[in-house]
Amino acid sequence: MAMKPIRALMLPNKASIRVDLIAQVVAYAEGVGILNDRNRMIGWIEIYAQDEAARADHFDFVLETLNKLVNNPRQAEQPDWSRLHEGTL
């Protein structure tokens, strides 16, 4: 059974953002910023992994997941953020 598309995205910190407000996703040294159409940050996903390979994997996962959501919001599904806890201290 296919999941129903979401209208709001729940972030790993349990904050919620309306999908239609997300205009841009930007990688920073410590995490990924979610920006609206006015370039104001409306969300943040911290990347906690210390291991370089795990950290790169977490960044790739978050960026790819959010990029898919931005490019096709009508097909958006709630991501499983549990993967971000792997490789953290």
| pLDDT mean over 30-34 | 97
Q: Residue 45: inside a domain, yes or no?
A: yes
Structural domain span for residue 71: 8-83
Q: Residue 71: inside a domain, yes or no?
A: yes
Q: Residue 63: inside a domain, yes or no?
A: yes
Strand order across the 41-46 sheet: 24-27, 31-35, 41-46
Helix %, strand %, coil % of the chain (to 5): 35, 25, 40
Q: Residue 1: inside a domain, yes or no?
A: no
The three-state secondary structure class of 69 is helix
Q: Residue 89: inside a domain, yes or no?
A: no
pLDDT band at 86 (very low <50, low <70, confident <90, very high): confident
Domain count, the chain: 1
64 vs 1, 43, 68, 89, CA distance in Å? 24, 16, 6, 24
Backbone angles phi, psi at 11, to 5 degrees: -85, 165
pLDDT one-digit tens code per residue, 63-78:
999 999 999 988 888 9
